[in-house]
């Protein structure tokens, strides 16, 4: 089948039924208007959709003259089969008139011994009733084919009519008599088995409307009367509206199946949180500068690997120099579960200091100290950094000094006079520090972190605004999307920053209120207590209190980590100088 769709997304349901009804193996579809991120999937049908142009071909535009080179590009290979709207008209294939493109195609087919096929009925009905229909679809092929069927279809909506073609192709005529005898297929049994294995959707309303739409379209194409065109347009709009409703019903069923234990939770979350544009591969900095093309990137990666895999220089410490005579036949593949354990063993003897606390998490390393006197706190850090530098040189560990950052957390505005150094370079001070997903500021009021969470949550809400605003999705499904996509962003690590000022935390409460109002479809004048009671959701303050109470109760049961265990050793209601979560 070949067809110019003039937009395929709104006709996907009808196209799926058409492919299943006629048993289409190959569908040549152009003018789909599909973006690179859009995909179409059909059940119980295997098709091949060709939407691009052959290499060296160009799009055929009526205003651009049609040349013999365009035909040579399409028919330059042996055993070719090309079909579609070539803007070619000739009386040989029942067109009303002959144009330059049609005459060129006819002359080239006669000289190169291939055939041009076309249906008997018109394939193009202009939207303007003053213009007459004509035959534009043709088939160019040099295959040894036996044409069995070639006719137009009344299905689908476009000014171009789909053309169905059934061919029997014999690449070698002598092999036709050598085929093995294949028994007849029991088609009723096959149909029953297929319907049992693949449940078919029975929608009598849309099937009846599709039949009425086809009849109305046939009446309009026959009479070219504006009155019949109005009836056809109204039925087409109804079919598309019901098809959209069915699509939303399928979506709701998919969401409910996921909630009830489906294995597509990560797939649907990734699909909803992803942007509309595909991420482009970044450029690579090689020896000759920035590289952008695939060939230059390959060369840059090869040069980088060549520089990395060289023989190491002799170690500075002779005590750890070991000569390996036997061939090493063991190793750890990249991504192995053993790699984190080996890394932990390798850095287990990192320097320690009674006044400096060291925290390791994956490849993130944190050194911190605390004291009421800021000068006394800064006194021990340079000495520890010198020990850390010696440890790096001993085990030949290379670090990037540019990734080191220091921050002073205090309510006082006294700036330290000394600068920390690592490997001879100054470690700069910063007012904000990103660590394990948290933005730690120098005043520890958590304003930058909460603003970051607000922007991130609003970004996810805006990208999925059409889902939250849709009238086809029911309220439980929308609440599920809210709890899966937005709420985890608002409460991530809230046990650490939920003691922030109420007017700072109120920014996150505003985001939650906006989402819940959108789910219910109410205005901003609706009371906040009503939207929470109607949806059965808790406010963020209530969620913070429950998570804080659960977390600090669990810390009392920990025996291994003394620091985490000591977090719960306090009464949250007693007067205190230092901030802790309000329970």
Residue-level pLDDT at 579: 54
Are 550 and 518 spatial neighbours (Cβ–Cβ below 8 Å)? no
Are 163 and 137 spatial neighbours (Cβ–Cβ below 8 Å)? yes
Gap between the Cα atoms of 568 and 551, Å rounded: 9
The three state secondary structure string of 406-420 is: ECCCCCCCCCCCCCC
How would you classify the pairing of strands 284-286 and 289-291? Answer: antiparallel
DSSP label at 536? T
Closest CA to 432 of 416, 444, 419: 444
- Tell me the angle at which helices 226-259 and 265-273 cross, rounded to the nearest 10 degrees: 130
The domain defined by 53-167 carries CATH number 3.40.50.460: no
* Token pair for 183: 């028994």
* Residues 6+ positions from 157 with CB-CB distance below 8 Å: 11, 14, 213, 217, 236
At 170-219, the pLDDT tens digits run 555 544 444 445 556 676 777 677 665 554 555 667 778 888 888 888 88
How would you classify the pairing of strands 145-152 and 137-141? Answer: unpaired
Closest CA to 242 of 268, 216, 204: 204
Q: Provide the 3-class DSSP secondary structure of residue 429.
A: strand
Which residues are 146's β-sheet partners? 168
At 500-520, the pLDDT tens digits run 888 899 999 999 999 999 998
* Token pair for 293: 């093309």
Are 583 and 551 spatial neighbours (Cβ–Cβ below 8 Å)? no
Are 171 and 138 spatial neighbours (Cβ–Cβ below 8 Å)? no
* Token pair for 217: 């379209």
How would you classify the pairing of strands 2-4 and 27-30? Answer: parallel
CA angle 89, 90, 91 (to 5 degrees): 135
Are 159 and 127 spatial neighbours (Cβ–Cβ below 8 Å)? yes
**With left for phi above 0 and alpha for psi between -120 and 50, is residue 123 left, alpha or beta?**
alpha
Q: Phi and psi (nearest 5°) for 59?
A: -75, 135
Collect the ranges in the chain with pLDDT lower than 50.
Answer: 44-57, 174-180, 199, 582-583
Q: What predicted TM-score, i.e. pTM, was given to this entire model?
A: 0.50
* Residues 6+ positions from 205 with CB-CB distance below 8 Å: 242
Q: Say how many residues make up the chain.
A: 583
Gap between the Cα atoms of 216 and 229, Å rounded: 8
Closest CA to 144 of 117, 174, 172, 108: 172
Domain boundaries of the chain, sorted by first residue: 53-167, 206-267, 339-430, 447-566
* Token pair for 40: 């179409």
Residue-level pLDDT at 118: 86
DSSP label at 44? S
């Amino acid at each position: 089948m070949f067809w110019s769709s003039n937009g395929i997304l709104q006709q996907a349901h009808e196209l799926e039924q058409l492919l299943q009804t006629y048993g289409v193996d190959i569908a040549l579809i152009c003018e789909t208007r599909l973006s690179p991120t859009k995909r179409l999937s059909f059940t119980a049908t295997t098709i091949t959709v060709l939407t691009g142009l052959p290499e060296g071909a160009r799009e055929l535009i009526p205003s651009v003259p049609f040349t013999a080179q365009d035909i040579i590009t399409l028919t330059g290979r042996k055993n070719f089969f090309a079909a579609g709207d070539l803007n070619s008209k000739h009386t040989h294939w029942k067109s009303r008139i002959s144009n330059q493109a049609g005459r060129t195609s006819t002359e080239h087919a006669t000289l190169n011994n291939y055939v041009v096929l076309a249906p008997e009925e018109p394939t193009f009905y202009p939207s303007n009733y003053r213009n007459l229909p004509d035959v534009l679809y043709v088939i160019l092929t040099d295959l040894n084919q036996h044409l069995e069927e070639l006719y137009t279809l009344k299905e689908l909506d476009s000014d171009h009519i789909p053309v169905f073609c059934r061919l029997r192709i014999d690449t070698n005529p002598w092999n036709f008599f050598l085929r093995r005898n294949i028994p007849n297929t029991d088609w009723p049994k096959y149909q029953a088995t297929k319907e049992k294995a693949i449940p078919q959707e029975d929608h009598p309303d849309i099937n009846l409307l599709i039949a009425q739409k086809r009849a109305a379209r046939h009446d309009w194409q026959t009479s070219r009367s504006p009155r019949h065109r109005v009836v056809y347009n109204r039925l087409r709009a109804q079919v598309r509206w019901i098809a959209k409703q069915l699509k939303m019903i399928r979506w709701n069923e998919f969401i409910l199946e996921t909630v009830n234990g489906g294995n597509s939770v990560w797939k649907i979350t990734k699909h909803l949180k992803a942007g509309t544009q595909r991420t482009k591969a970044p450029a690579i900095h090689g020896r000759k500068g920035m590289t952008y093309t695939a060939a230059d990137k390959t060369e840059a990666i090869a040069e980088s690997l060549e520089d990395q895999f060289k023989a190491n220089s002799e170690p500075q410490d002779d005590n750890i120099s070991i000569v390996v005579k036997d061939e090493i036949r063991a190793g750890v593949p990249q991504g192995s579960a053993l790699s984190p354990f080996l890394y932990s063993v390798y850095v287990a003897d990192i320097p320690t200091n009674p006044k400096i606390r060291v925290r390791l998490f994956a490849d993130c390393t944190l050194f911190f100290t605390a004291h009421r006197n800021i000068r006394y706190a800064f006194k021990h850090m340079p000495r520890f950094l010198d020990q850390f530098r010696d440890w790096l040189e001993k085990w030949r560990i290379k670090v990037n000094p540019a990734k080191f950052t220091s921050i002073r957390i205090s309510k006082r505005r006294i700036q330290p006079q000394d600068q920390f150094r690592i490997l001879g370079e100054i470690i700069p001070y910063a007012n904000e520090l990103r660590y394990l997903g948290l933005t730690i500021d120098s005043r520890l009021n958590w304003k930058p972190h909460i603003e970051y969470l607000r922007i991130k949550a609003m970004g996810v809400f805006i990208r999925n605004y059409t889902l939250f605003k849709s009238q086809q999705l029911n309220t439980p499904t929308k609440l599920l999307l809210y709890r899966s996509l937005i709420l985890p962003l608002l409460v991530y690590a809230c046990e650490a920053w939920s003691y922030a000022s109420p007017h700072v935390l109120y920014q996150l409460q505003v985001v939650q209120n906006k989402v819940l109002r959108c789910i219910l479809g109410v205005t901003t004048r609706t009371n906040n207590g009503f939207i929470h009671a109607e949806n059965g959701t808790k406010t963020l303050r209530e969620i913070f209190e429950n998570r804080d109470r659960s977390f600090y109760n669990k810390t009392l049961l920990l025996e291994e980590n003394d620091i985490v265990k000591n977090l719960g050793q306090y009464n949250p209601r007693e007067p205190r100088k230092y901030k802790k979560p309000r329970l």
